[in-house]
Chain A
Amino acid sequence: MKENKGFKLARILVLALICLMCAIPFYVLLVLSLNAPSRVFYEGNLFVPTFAWGNYADAWAKSRIGTAMVNSAVITFGTLGLTILLGGMAGYAIARRNNAFNRAVFSLLIGCMMIPGIINTVPLYTLMRGLGAINTLWGMVLVCSTLCMPSAVFIYTTFVRALPRELDEAAEVDGCTGFKAFWKIIFPVLKPATASFVILNGFGVWNNYAQAVFFLQSREKQNIPQALSVFFQQFGGAKWHLMSATAVIAIIPVVVIFLVFQRQFIEGLTEGAVKG
C-alpha cells in the first residue's frame, strides 16, 4: 500500500512532537540539576542552566545514593540469578515431563501472575521478621525472586517446548541426565529466553519501591527509590538542585543500559509479547 506524501509528513510531525513530549521532563531534570542553588527563576533563559557541576558532588555526598546503588545492584543481580536458575530448571522440567505434579506447579504459578505483591506484603512482613530477613539484601532477593518466578517459569517453559527433543537425547547419550543435562546442554541454548526474562523483569526489580518500603527501612540497606524518597522527605521538597542531581545519578545506570542494549531490548519485548 502506497502512502500519501502529505499524510506521511503529518504522521512524522506528530511523532516528532510525541518524542519531544517524552524528552522534555528529562531535559528539565538535567537543567534543574545544573542550576546553582542561588539561582532565581525569574532571570535569564530558563532552559539554560547555570552549569553548577558541584551539585553532583554535593548530591552524591549528602544522599547516600552510592550505597543505595550498590544495594540495588546486589538485589537485582541476586534476584535475576536465582530466578534464572530455579525458573529455568522448573521450566525445563515442566516442558519435558508432562505429569500431574508439573502441570499443577505451572497452573499455580501462572494463576498467581495476576496477584500483585502488595496483596500479601503484610503477612510476608511477619514471616520475614521471624526469619530475621528484614533489612537484609538476601531477604529482599528472596522476596523479589518470588515475585519474578511466575514470569521466569512461563518464559522458560514456552522456550523449552520449542526445543527439539533430540537435544535431550544427545545429552543422555553423552551420559548427562537431570540437572547436569539441563545445565550443560539445555541452559546454554536458552539464551534468548534468559534475555527475554531479564528484559521483562530487570528494571522492575531495580526500581522496586512497594516492597522496599516494607523490607528495606534501614539507611544502610535501602535501595535507590527508597533512598530518594528518604532524601526528598528530609528536605521537605526544598533544595531541588540536590534532589534533581540525585535523580539524574539514580537514573543514569538504567538509561545507559537501556540505550546500549536497546535493539535486543525492543526485540526481546516484542518476542515476549508475541509468545505471551
Chain B
Amino acid sequence: MSLPALMLFCAFFVYPLIRGVGMSLTDWDGMGEATFVGLSNFERFFQDARAMGDIRTTLIFAAGSAILLNLVGLFYALLMEKPFHGRSAARVMIYLPAIISPLIMGYIWYFLLQPGRGFLYHAMEQLGSSFQLGNWMNDYPTTMTVLILVNVWQYAGMTMIIYLAGLQGISSDLREAAMIDGATSWQRFTRVTLPLLMPAIRINVVTNIIGSLSVFDVIMSLTEGGPGYATESLSIYIMRMCYGSRTGYSTAVAMILFLIILVPVLLSMRLTRTKD
C-alpha cells in the first residue's frame, strides 16, 4: 500500500531530480536540441560575478537567519516557559506572523519601511523623532540586515513553539536537583537545560538552514534582489536563469544549491546528535 505514494513521489520528485543531473551537463535552452557540454555550466557559474554574489547573499542570509531565529526563539521560549495570565494569547500573537505568506509579509514590511515614503518614515516625522532608516534599499549591508530581521520577525514564533515544547519535556526535578546541588542559574541553563534541549535545537537548526538557504518569497517582495543583484538569492537566480531560457545552466545552479544545503544540514545533524 506504500506503492501509490512512492509512484507519485518518484514521478514528480526523484525522476526530475535525476533528469536535472543530466540537464545540468547540457546547454539546453528549454525548447530546441540539447548538446552535451560537460562541466562547462559549473565552470561558468564559478566565473560569474553575479553568481558568486548570490552565493554570498544566500550564505549571509542563511547564517544570519538561522543563528538569530534560534537565539530569539529560545529567548522567547524561556520568557514564556513559566505560566502567567494571558500566556496562550501571547503565544498566538507571536506565532501569527508565521502563518502568513512570506511574500505578503514582505509587501507589508515594504509599506512600513520604504525610504522616504513608508509608514515608519512618516510616523517618525510626526512623532518628532530624528531617527530615520535612510535609503536602506540602496545600501547593501542595510538591505541585507532588513531582510534578515524581517525573516526573523516572521518566524521567531515557530522556533519559539518548538523550544517551548522542548522545555516542557524537561522535568523540573532535574533542574531543582541541580539547584539544590548549588548550581547557579547560568550553570543550570548550560549544563542541564541546554543538553536536554538538543532534540529541539536539532529540529530548529535543520529546518531553518533548509528554509533560509532556499529563501525566495521575502526577497522577491521586499527588494526583488536589488539594489542591482546585491540581495539576489540562488533560488531567485535559478528562476531568472530558467526564464532566460538557460535551462541547462539553471539546473546546474540547482545542483550547486543542493550541495550548499546538504553540507551544513548533515554537519548540523552530526553536531546535534543525541545518544539515543
* Chain A positions near chain B (C-beta within 8 angstroms): 1, 3, 8, 11-12, 14-16, 18-19, 21-23, 25-26, 28-29, 31-32, 41-42, 46-47, 86-87, 89-90, 92-94, 101-102, 105, 108-109, 112, 114-127, 142-143, 145-147, 149-150, 152-153, 178-179, 182, 203, 206-207, 209-210, 213-214, 224-225, 228-229, 232, 237, 240, 243-244, 247, 250-251, 254-255, 258-259, 262-263, 266, 269-271, 273-274, 276
A126-B247, A127-B11 known; 12 new pairs, CB 8 Å cut-off, are A22-B94, A32-B119, A118-B257, A122-B254, A123-B16, A124-B16, A209-B102, A209-B216, A210-B239, A228-B101, A254-B100, A276-B203
- Asked whether A122 lies within 8 Å of B20 as measured between CB atoms, the reply is yes
A262 pairs with B92, CB closer than 8 A: yes
For A44, the closest partner residue in chain B by CB is: B126
Main secondary structure of the interface of B (DSSP, over half): helix
| Residue numbers in A under 8 Å from B125 (CB-CB) | 42
Contact present for B30 and A126 (CB under 8 Å): yes
Q: Is B133 part of the contact surface with A, judged by Cβ < 8 Å? A: no
Report the nearest A residue to B258, measured CB to CB: A119
Any chain A CB within 8 A of the CB of B271?
A: no
Asked whether A251 and B100 contact (CB < 8 A) given A126-B247, A273-B200, the answer is: yes
* Residue B220 interfacial (CB < 8 Å): yes
Size category, B interface: 35 or more
A266 to B91, CA, bound (A): 9
Is chain A's binding surface mostly helix, strand, loop or mixed?
A: helix
Choose from B104, B111, B119, B166 the contact partner of A46 (Cβ within 8 Å).
B119
Question: Complex formed: what's the CA distance from A224 to B186 in Å?
Answer: 47
Selected from A1, A94, A207, the residue in CB contact (under 8 A) with B176 is: A1
CB pair A19–B90 under 8 Å, yes or no, is yes
**Distance from A193 Cβ to chain B, minimum over Cβ atoms (Å):** 15
Residue of B nearest to A206 (CB): B101
Cβ B165 vs Cβ A273 within 8 A: yes
Q: How many pairs, one residue from A and one from B, have CB atoms within 8 Å of each other in the complex? A: 259
Chain B 1-41 against A: per-residue CB contact (8 Å), 1 yes, 0 no?
11011101101111111011001000000100000000000
Of residues 112 through 127 on chain B, the ones whose CB sits less than 8 Å from some CB of chain A are: 112, 114, 119, 122-123, 125-126
26 residue pairs from A and B, CB less than 8 Å apart: A11-B79, A12-B84, A22-B94, A22-B153, A25-B97, A26-B108, A42-B125, A47-B123, A89-B1, A93-B1, A93-B2, A105-B5, A112-B9, A116-B261, A118-B214, A119-B20, A120-B17, A121-B254, A123-B19, A126-B247, A146-B8, A146-B12, A149-B13, A213-B239, A247-B104, A263-B88
Residues of chain A within 8 A (CB-CB) of B203 are: 273, 276
Is the Cβ of A120 less than 8 Å from the Cβ of B16?
A: yes
Shortest distance between the CB of A162 and any CB in chain B (Å): 17
Shortest Cβ distance from B18 into A: residue: A123
Indicate if the CB atoms of A127 and B12 lie closer than 8 Å.
yes
Q: Are A120 and B112 in contact (CB under 8 A)?
A: no
A153 to B93, CA, bound (A): 31
In the assembled complex, how far is the CB of residue B203 from the closest CB belonging to chain A, in whole angstroms?
6
The answer to whether B2 touches A105 (Cβ under 8 A) is: yes
> Are A115 and B104 CB-contacts (below 8 A) given A32-B111, A46-B126, A146-B13?
no
A122: which B residues are within 8 A, CB to CB? 20, 23, 238, 242, 247, 250-251, 254
